[in-house]
Chains A and B, each alone.
Chain A
Amino acid sequence: MSAIDLSSDGSRTARGIAFRYLFTLCALLSILTTVAIVLTLLLDAVDFFAAVSPIEFLFGTRWSPTNDPVAFGVLPLISGTLTITVGAAAIALPIGLLTAIYLSEYASSRRRAYLKPALEVLAGVPTVVYGYFALVYVTPALDAIPFVELSTFNALSASIMVGIMIIPMVSSISEDAMSAVPDSLRQASYGLGATKFTVSTSVVVPAALSGIFSSFILALSRAIGETMIVAIAAGQTPKLIDLTDPAGLFLESVQTMTAAMVQIGTNDVVGQSIAYKSLFAVGLTLFVITFAMNLVSEYVASRYREVYQ
């Protein structure tokens, strides 16, 4: 847009005006979608909170939407979601970051041309397939390790699969940030006699830190919202973290917020029941958490963009 704008404003023809409005409408549809999401979630969630107090929902320690006695405490679901997210982060953040360093600092352009699309495939595999892999191949393989007592449905294999799925999110956004680090910084460092290891870890990574953080937050947000892997492989046992043995949760079946939604969704609960309405309350909680994380990620990334442009 820096060049002189020679375009006529489209007012020359009625057709030009019509298309202009049509395209504007298409763009506004995205805002409408957001509004529709918030409204549909809120409308039914408000009904839900009329029957169950928000305090009971947010701080209750038991989740049992359909079995008597019914209870709608979301904490066990958040606990399950946290378990999966921590497990996935332990896999995806270090591996994704190291991958980004390799792609940006070490790989030849030819090798990068093969590796990048190959990594993207990880994110393109349908999550239902990952869930099946976790249940049928990963769990038995982990169970074969001596002294590991795994439940058929467990948080460990589910979080490993979620971790593998989000590696490309971390690696591609982090790599973009690292590639944007000016070459003069690297050259200055090499001029001082630094090795590539030092340049990568002490110059490039710190300089790209905001982009890397942004990729971390986005990947975690994706892990929190991931549904099919956890619904298939992590099971449906809402469980609160045992503070004396927090790692023990990985070996057992847990239920995440998303898996709880799938369970209610497949159980043919009656349209106007509280269980049905709880779907929207959990959905609203999930939406608020992930939306906030995406906004933070956007904000962190935009701060970094200003530095080098």
Chain B
Amino acid sequence: MAAETGDQTVDERESEFGQISRTKDVAFRWLTLAAALVGILSLAILLAYVTVDAVGWLDWQFLTSAPHPNPFEAGIFPALIGSIALMLLIALVTFPLGVGAAIYLEEYASDGPLTTFIQINIANLAGVPSVVYGLLGLGLFVSLIGFGFGTLLVAAFTVALLILPIVIISAQEAIRAVPDSQRQASYGMGATKWQTIRNVVLPRAMPGILTGTILALGRAIGETAPLIMIGAPTTVFGVPNSLLSKVSAMPMQIYTWARYPETEFQYGVVAAGVVTLLVVLLSINSVAILIRNHYQHDQ
């Protein structure tokens, strides 16, 4: 707002300052706006293309059939169910662990070197390439523990470790946003630390925690590289029926199809798969936004 006032002052005095170029100022404003729109517009154009290509391919048959070498009979059903099963398992693992770690860091940990070390470590884990997490899953869960190549359990654990730092960081922000006065009031009434966390802090922070977790799950559903590394099969024809059955996921299926040379696959089946994945992703993110808006209006 202060900047707006500055702008007017500049306008009024423009005639007095010969070296000030109004054209340059306006041109720069447009340049920055154009830059801000470049990414969004290119994505919008690509999305328009893929949606047009998906027309005629994305139908009930596609959603309910298994993969098939004939593009007209190919479907995404096992991968769709696999993705949903994966997501539920990942949520089961990351939610308690992520919230627990966030509670420790925000409520219990004192400001010391250990806390700083854990914080830096979490920030760094968030930046480790996903393909490296895939190697972790391969080395730890497949080779060392022996859960088997490409099983639901291994895939879920691997991707859970991958998104855990994001869940912790967003849960920390939500917990930090709870006013300290509310904690003090609770303590003043004689509540213990745990009672305060359970009855005051967590209920207040829960919308933020849920929003962050759901957005992280949205990221999990798009992960492909870790699944490739842990040996998830390129094509699965059935839905997973146990924790140790082989699982495919939508991005994995899209990756496989994208490498088929036939035009029907390149511009039809893959486009339908991409749109399905994006629709699921969009629905997940809308749930997160709905939760956030709902609680924002309440408070």
Asked whether any CB of chain B lies closer than 8 Å to the CB of A59, the reply is: no
B117-161 at interface with A (beta carbon < 8 Å) = 117-118, 120-125, 127-136, 138-140, 143-144, 161
| Interfacial chain B residues near A164, Cβ < 8 Å | 39, 42-43
A-B contact pairs, 28 of them (CB 8 A): A7-B196, A8-B193, A10-B194, A13-B192, A16-B194, A20-B193, A20-B194, A26-B97, A26-B99, A36-B136, A37-B128, A37-B132, A40-B138, A98-B31, A98-B34, A124-B281, A126-B281, A127-B222, A164-B39, A164-B43, A186-B3, A193-B20, A227-B130, A283-B132, A287-B132, A290-B128, A293-B127, A295-B120
In the assembled complex, the Cα of A187 lies from the Cα of B5 at a distance in Å of 9
A180-217 at interface with B (beta carbon < 8 Å) = 183, 186-187, 190, 193-201
Find the residue from B25, B96, B129, B188 having the highest chain A CB count within 10 A.
B129
Majority secondary structure of chain A interface residues (helix, strand, loop or mixed) = helix
Q: With A13-B192, A127-B222, A287-B128 given, name 7 new contacts (CB 8 A).
A: A7-B193, A30-B168, A167-B38, A197-B25, A199-B3, A227-B130, A227-B224
Closest to B187 in A: A6
| Interfacial chain B residues near A266, Cβ < 8 Å | 228, 234
| Interfacial chain B residues near A110, Cβ < 8 Å | none
- Measured CB to CB, the closest approach of chain B to A302, in angstroms, equals 9
In the complex, are the beta carbons of A30 and B140 less than 8 A apart? no
In the complex, are the beta carbons of B25 and A286 less than 8 A apart? no
In the complex, are the beta carbons of B43 and A195 less than 8 A apart? no
In the assembled complex, the Cα of A226 lies from the Cα of B46 at a distance in Å of 20
| Interfacial chain B residues near A8, Cβ < 8 Å | 187, 192-193
| Interfacial chain B residues near A99, Cβ < 8 Å | 32, 35-36, 39
- Measured CB to CB, the closest approach of chain B to A283, in angstroms, equals 4
In the assembled complex, the Cα of A132 lies from the Cα of B254 at a distance in Å of 8
| Interfacial chain B residues near A287, Cβ < 8 Å | 128-129, 132
In the complex, are the beta carbons of B97 and A95 less than 8 A apart? no
A36-52 at interface with B (beta carbon < 8 Å) = 36-37, 39-41, 43-44
- Measured CB to CB, the closest approach of chain B to A217, in angstroms, equals 10
In the assembled complex, the Cα of A118 lies from the Cα of B40 at a distance in Å of 7
In the complex, are the beta carbons of A7 and B187 less than 8 A apart? yes
- Measured CB to CB, the closest approach of chain B to A37, in angstroms, equals 5
Asked whether any CB of chain A lies closer than 8 Å to the CB of B267, the reply is: yes
- Measured CB to CB, the closest approach of chain B to A280, in angstroms, equals 6
Closest to A290 in B: B129
Closest to B131 in A: A227
Interface size class of A (residues with CB under 8 A): 35 or more
A111-165 at interface with B (beta carbon < 8 Å) = 115, 118-119, 121-122, 124-129, 131-133, 135-138, 164
Partner of A225, one of B7, B50, B109, B130: B130
Contact with B along A251-285 (1 / 0, CB 8 A): 00000001001100110000100000001100100
Asked whether any CB of chain A lies closer than 8 Å to the CB of B165, the reply is: yes
| Interfacial chain A residues near B197, Cβ < 8 Å | 19
| Interfacial chain A residues near B28, Cβ < 8 Å | 196-197, 200-201
Contact with B along A78-109 (1 / 0, CB 8 A): 00000000000000001110110111011100
Closest to B5 in A: A190
